[in-house]
Structure 1
Amino acid sequence: MTENYDTAQKIRDLAMEHNDFFRKSIPLIASENIMSPLAMEMLLTDFGFRYAEGLPHHRYYQGNFYVDQVEDITIDLAKKLFKSDQADPRPVSGTNANTSVIYGLLNPGDKISTPPLSGGGHISAAKFGAVGLRGLNIVNYPFDVENMNLDVDKTIKLIKSEKPKVCLFGQSVFLFPTPLKELKDAAAEVGSKIWYDGAHVLGLIAGGKFQDPLREGAEIITGSTHKTFPGPQHGIILGKTDEKTWKNIQRGVFPGTISNHHINAMAALGVTLAEELDYGREYAGKIIENAKYLASCLAEDGFKVLGEKNGYTESHTLVVDVRNNGGGRHVADLLEKSGIVLNKNLLPWDDGNKSQDPSGLRIGTQEVTRIGFGKSEMKEISRLIKIAVIDKKAPEVVKKDAADLKSRFKKVKYCYGDLEAYKYIKLLN
């Protein structure tokens, strides 16, 4: 063997251990999912080694005959699924999609209105994210903690007084639909474009179970494609806007913020779009049903689940205040040791200094739903969280119970094909 073979094998061993860890754990990270076998197959193709700069049929490289066809199909599927006039599947992540829109529509010094970080806003819209790097003037919408949503009346006043060039809506902690219908007239009055970051809820929008931003006032939707939308780690931009605006956004993608757009992931996105057209409505409905039921179970088991006034959630996400249980960092670490994987999260009353030890937890049901969990499993998840956090049962005991629960669910659902979930696929013996 060559000198560095053992080091390469160590990387492989760690990858296999990672698969095994998730095979035995309960995955509740709200920004992750598991792909279908056909979409996963696309990541292993020769597409992953090639370049395709520019738009289909107008490339800067040769050898893109098949890539152009795949991208054309992917664009058509996206426009059909989301009923959009335009679609660009080239962004390599949700943040890249956001950055492309920022560079396409806004110049340094322009004003943008965004949700606050403590109210679930995404880091790309913060002063240390892409918005800040572009040198934009940021104003944050007022947040209504009781309703866990934007304060409509105060937001209307803010838009009319601040007159932002772009109004950005959409969050990383996204319990309820954004009141776009109530806010679009204020934006129109001051000439603001409405942009909707649908990264977390893209699959719920695709399934017709959350809201329909392009019919409710948004001109642009950005999103990552691996959360409630169960595809590869990639991004997408959807539009229902004028040709000049769309061309500016596409220039923001290339040459603005990327060169090659990871063609294998784009092909996997195309497969997932087709699967969502066939299975997305059923899958999205089940995600939300599970989230609402898990929230109610956790509340019954003694946790403070936010959003109670409005039924806890209408998305895949629920948020729990664990200040009285040791704080978000402590509880998330404890649950990881107990075989339950979720994340600590800022709550509306936290300031930025608490980002590493915030008050809350964020929980998502999209991945466990993809492998077949239903209401009885949501109740069992709540029980496991309770005995770990409130009853202080030994983590190794809870971890065994979590693995036993997970062992009964071995297939990826709502997709084409039949593949064992979390199976490590070897190409070398």
Structure 2
Amino acid sequence: MERPIDYALAIRDLARRHNALFRDSIPLIASENIMSPLAMEMLLTDFGFRYAEGLPHHRYYQGNFFVDQVEDMVTELAKKVFGSKQADPRPISGTNANTSVLYGLTQPGDTITTPPLEGGGHISAARFGAVGLRGLNPVNYPFDVEEMNIDIDGTAKLLRETRPKLVLFGQSVFLFPTPLRELRDVFEEIGCTVWYDGAHVLGLIAGKQFQDPLREGAHIVTGSTHKTLPGPQHGIILGNADEEVWKAVQRGVFPGTLSNHHLNAMAALGVTLAEAMEFGEKYAAQVVKNARAMAEELASLGMKVLGEKNGYTRSHTLVVDVREYGGGRKVAELLEQRNIILNKNMLPWDDSRKSQNPSGLRIGSQEVTRIGFSEDDCREVARLIHRAVVKGEEKEKIIQEVRELKDAHREVKYCFGRLEAYRYFEIADLGDSGH
């Protein structure tokens, strides 16, 4: 490339091709989703070029008259949707929200109890993640593979022995609700602050289809806003905490772990929360139905879907043991080549030091639900996966059938307004000169 404009045009071309890839693929990554047209509109506003350090009406910059009103509204919407006493929509990601809690509520050397990485825990809670960077000592809960959840009795024993002041629950592989109610007496006995990472299931919580952590014993809930909650890539913190705890968390947000907080994404989050109030219950219910249908169909075809004892899943996620087909990495790459996009994932027996070649696949139903897939459609997805992985059917035949299935679902659902999913919006008029 000889001219700067050539680089710019090449980037535009790659972006177009990326949109086309997802337009013609079945998207099953459990941590992704697509936004509504009105939420997308917010990302293109002048909000995206401005700063608003601090809290509304107490800023360090001028020009925030309208920003303050938006942030007030987003905060109020979050409290209504999740029934929380407090909400902070400033974190710019789920991991940033987690780091803010760690900086607000812990000191280096503190012990924190967390889900194990191989049992679905998030990397921010691992020794090499934000927990380690904060200088904390993470101790993992015992995990029950048959239940695909933390072991209740073992966790109660661990909490009484370690007596941490902050306990973390929530996972990236989150099949079933965390047993908060069963452990509530232990929380009160040791006097800890209970923190629930709801990044993956935030939209299901909003839609009243999973569990209600703030009513079951959690004081703080963190989350990403772009997974089952189908908003922008952003974060949020919710609380039913004592004022002293909440103020510490907010200090962890600013000035602790961020400065400006991506105002256009915050506005998009507000739109997403308003849509969750209107459509969230219906959407979340269909997400769970679709995940269960996919899991049951894969199991009926002979694939090893975990969590059978409890019905495979009560969330958007299912996990499959694919060791007999070459392992998670090989199978995920094979499916990607056939326009079925999902990811390899560790299973409870895997060695976390070898996470690049794990035993399993993680599959999510939330994005296909967003574009109108039904249980029957998800059963067909399961059959396509089986035909590609187990039967080894011809690559081009699978790709063609994936496209045919996807062609029947071209519109974003459960939102205000209408939009063709995966459409590329060209707004730059470069003219003949490229300027």
| TM interval, short-chain normalised | over 0.9
Superposed displacement of residue 165, structure 1: 1.2
**2:424 is matched by which residue type in structure 1?**
Y
The aligned residue for residue 369 of structure 1 is: 369
What SS class does the counterpart of residue 418 from structure 2 fall into?
coil
Superposed displacement of residue 354, structure 1: 2.2
The aligned residue for residue 213 of structure 2 is: 213
Deviations for 1:78-130, whole angstroms, at most 9, x for unmatched residues?
A: 00000000000000000000000000000001110000000000000000100
Alpha-carbon distance in structure 2 between the residues aligned to 1:109 and 1:190: 19
Whether 2:143 is the aligned partner of 1:143: answer: yes
Whether 2:53 is the aligned partner of 1:53: answer: yes
Superposed displacement of residue 397, structure 1: 2.0
Alpha-carbon distance in structure 1 between the residues aligned to 2:397 and 2:336: 13
The aligned residue for residue 255 of structure 2 is: 255
Whether 2:392 is the aligned partner of 1:397: answer: no
Q: Cα RMSD between the aligned structures?
A: 1.0
Deviations for 1:9-59, whole angstroms, at most 9, x for unmatched residues?
A: 000000000000000000000000000000000000000000000000000
The aligned residue for residue 271 of structure 1 is: 271
| Structure 2 segments unaligned to the other structure (5+ residues) | 430-435
What SS class does the counterpart of residue 320 from structure 1 fall into?
strand
Counterparts of 1:308-319 in structure 2, within 5 Å, are 308-319=308-319
What SS class does the counterpart of residue 233 from structure 1 fall into?
coil
Deviations for 1:119-171, whole angstroms, at most 9, x for unmatched residues?
A: 00000000010000000011100000000001001100000011111110000
What SS class does the counterpart of residue 174 from structure 2 fall into?
coil
What SS class does the counterpart of residue 10 from structure 2 fall into?
helix
Alpha-carbon distance in structure 1 between the residues aligned to 2:428 and 2:93: 30
| Structure 1 segments unaligned to the other structure (5+ residues) | none
Deviations for 1:402-421, whole angstroms, at most 9, x for unmatched residues?
A: 11110110100000000000
| Equivalent pair of 1:19/1:424 in contact (CA under 8 Å) | yes
Whether 2:228 is the aligned partner of 1:228: answer: yes
Alpha-carbon distance in structure 2 between the residues aligned to 1:144 and 1:250: 35
Alpha-carbon distance in structure 2 between the residues aligned to 1:310 and 1:41: 41
Superposed displacement of residue 353, structure 1: 2.4
The aligned residue for residue 292 of structure 2 is: 292
Normalised by the length of structure 2, the TM-score is: 0.98
Between Structure 1 and Structure 2, how many residues are aligned?
429
Alpha-carbon distance in structure 2 between the residues aligned to 1:188 and 1:118: 28
The aligned residue for residue 202 of structure 1 is: 202
Alpha-carbon distance in structure 2 between the residues aligned to 1:54 and 1:407: 46
What SS class does the counterpart of residue 67 from structure 1 fall into?
helix
**1:183 is matched by which residue type in structure 2?**
L
What SS class does the counterpart of residue 112 from structure 1 fall into?
strand
The aligned residue for residue 111 of structure 1 is: 111
| Equivalent pair of 1:337/1:396 in contact (CA under 8 Å) | no
Alpha-carbon distance in structure 1 between the residues aligned to 2:100 and 2:184: 23
The aligned residue for residue 426 of structure 1 is: 426
Alpha-carbon distance in structure 2 between the residues aligned to 1:375 and 1:109: 48
Alpha-carbon distance in structure 1 between the residues aligned to 2:428 and 2:114: 48
Normalised by the length of structure 1, the TM-score is: 0.99
What SS class does the counterpart of residue 62 from structure 1 fall into?
coil
The aligned residue for residue 305 of structure 1 is: 305
Alpha-carbon distance in structure 1 between the residues aligned to 2:359 and 2:115: 19
**2:358 is matched by which residue type in structure 1?**
P
| Equivalent pair of 1:160/1:187 in contact (CA under 8 Å) | no
**1:67 is matched by which residue type in structure 2?**
V
Counterparts of 1:186-197 in structure 2, within 5 Å, are 186-197=186-197
What SS class does the counterpart of residue 334 from structure 1 fall into?
helix
Alpha-carbon distance in structure 2 between the residues aligned to 1:270 and 1:395: 42
Alpha-carbon distance in structure 1 between the residues aligned to 2:38 and 2:389: 39
The aligned residue for residue 84 of structure 1 is: 84
What SS class does the counterpart of residue 267 from structure 2 fall into?
helix
What SS class does the counterpart of residue 362 from structure 1 fall into?
strand
What SS class does the counterpart of residue 138 from structure 2 fall into?
strand
**2:148 is matched by which residue type in structure 1?**
M
Superposed displacement of residue 394, structure 1: 2.3
Superposed displacement of residue 191, structure 1: 1.4
| Equivalent pair of 1:228/1:316 in contact (CA under 8 Å) | yes
Superposed displacement of residue 62, structure 1: 0.3
**1:330 is matched by which residue type in structure 2?**
K
Alpha-carbon distance in structure 1 between the residues aligned to 2:280 and 2:375: 19
Alpha-carbon distance in structure 2 between the residues aligned to 1:273 and 1:386: 36
| Equivalent pair of 1:334/1:395 in contact (CA under 8 Å) | no
The aligned residue for residue 162 of structure 1 is: 162
The aligned residue for residue 29 of structure 1 is: 29
| Equivalent pair of 1:112/1:138 in contact (CA under 8 Å) | yes
